[in-house]
Amino acid sequence: MGKIFKFNKDVDTDQIIASQYLLFPTIDEMKAHTFESLNSDFASLVKPGDFVVADENFGCGSSREQAPSVLKALGVKAVIAKSFARIFYRNSINIGMPVIVSKELYDSVSEGDEMELDLKQGIITVGEKTFQCTKLPAKMQEILDQGGLIASLNN
């Protein structure tokens, strides 16, 4: 079980992690600034196993991989959105962070709700309600299963 943090549509990667932190030496030094402009308490409130739930076009804008990386470093288990911008989606899978498309979830849950995710089956449970999510394309699932794209280079 993890807690839901909700975000609106068209959340761009500048909001996830702003430019002024991107040249910090490590992701660990950046992560305290995650979502600073939208929810300045996010980094201190989020716990490993929590979820980000968003409306359409999550992660649009810059190709900065720091965006999914800070979410992963804070322990976010998955991002579930109505849709994702292309580069953020690909970057997330590449670093081994699940990104899941659900058209229903965002409108059916509230900030702070507890949620459970069965990644293999693509089923989300919030209270009494269950949601079937869109499955990852086979190529993406394969990358995720092996723990990200770099893992394949080390095999």
Partner 1 sequence: MGMTMAEKIIAAAAGVESTRAGDIETVTLDRLMSNDGTTHLTIDMYNNLKNPHIEDVSKLVWIIDHNIPADSPKTAASHKKMRNFAKEHGIKFYEGEGVCHQIMMENHVRPGELIFGADSHTCAYGALGAFGTGVGCTDYLYAMVTGTSWLLVPETIRFNLKGKLREGVYARDLILTIIGRISANGANYKAMEFVGEGMAGLSMADRISICNLCVEAGAKTALMEVDDVAMAYLKEHGREPKHIFKSDEDAVFSQVYDIDLSEINPIVAKPHFVDNIVDASECQDVKIDEAFLGSCNNGRIEDLRVGASVIKGKHVADGVRFLVVPASRAVYNQALKEGILDTFMEAGAMVMNPNCSVCWGACQGVIGEGETLISTGTRNFKGRAGHKDSFVYLASAATVTASAITGKITTADKVI
Q: What sign does the dihedral 6-58-60-145 (CA atoms) show? A: positive
Ranges within 97-136 binding partner 1 (CB under 8 A): none
Instruction: State yes or no: residue 65 binds partner 1 (CB under 8 A).
Output: yes
Question: Tell me, what amino acid is at 51?
Answer: F
CA dist 154 and 108 (Å) reads 41
* Phi, psi at 101, each rounded to 5°: -95, 125
Helix (H, G, I), strand (E, B) or coil at 82: coil
Rounded to whole angstroms, how far apart are CA atoms 143 and 155? 13
Q: Which of 4, 42, 51, 62 binds partner 1 (CB under 8 A)?
A: 62
Lay out the site mask for partner 1 across 66-85 (x = CB under 8 A, - = otherwise).
x-xx-------------x-x
Whose Cβ is closer to partner 1: residue 14's or residue 116's? 14
* Residues found near partner 1 in the complex (CB under 8 A): 10, 12, 14-15, 18-20, 22-27, 36-38, 56-57, 60-66, 68-69, 83, 85-87, 90-91, 94-95, 137, 139, 148-150, 152-154
